[in-house]
Amino acid sequence: MINIVLFGKPGAGKGTQAEFLKSQYQLVHISTGDVFRYNIKNTTDLGKLAQSYMDQGDLVPDSVTINMLEAEVEKNHDAKGFIFDGFPRTTAQAEALDAFLSKKEMQVTATIALEATDDELVERLLKRGETSGRSDDQDEAKIRNRFDEYNQKTAPLRSFYTNQSKFHSVNGIGTIDEITARLTSIIDRF
């Protein structure tokens, strides 16, 4: 079983690459954003709980996020593996993911970070914002704020997974095919 944590700053290409990897390795792609939207839209118990925090302007606690993620893994018990996209975002979440996977006799196989310069990513996001309709992709200040949040909360995962010999950095600049080839060269080692 292959379980990949795919991370990088907004605009790094995680969603695009996850689609290729999902198909190539028959993995289940679990996007935290998609899971949140599904649970909220379908007013599941976890969705209602998450919405109650969001309505107060609070961040959804890790425990709720982790419970949603666990439910997604449980729904796919025949999976050959998973791509975790947008999770974990913090060391505490990474520890919780390891504990959960361990209970299922699974583990994170590799963590792959798609790397690109902030200026390159700003350009990508502004271009995406022209067609996506996402307001957070149309304002450079908001984009750079998302990068700051990533640097504060998610970047420490580099050390966490390096200490487990599971961290891999991939150049996220180039054509989609070039970046996919870089990713598969890592995954094919497992």
Catalytic center residues: 14, 89, 128, 134, 146
Task: Select from 138, 108, 186, 183 the least CA-distant residue to 11.
Answer: 138
- The CA distances from residue 34 to 38, 87, 120, 141, in Å, are 6, 12, 25, 25
Structure tokens at 17: 């690459």
What DSSP letter does each residue of 114-170 carry, written as one string? EE--HHHHHHHHHHHHHHH--GGGS-HHHHHHHHHHIIIIITTHHHHHHTTT-EEEE
C-alpha–C-alpha distance, residues 95 and 53, integer Å: 23
C-alpha–C-alpha distance, residues 110 and 130, integer Å: 34
* Residue showing tokens 């690109």: 116
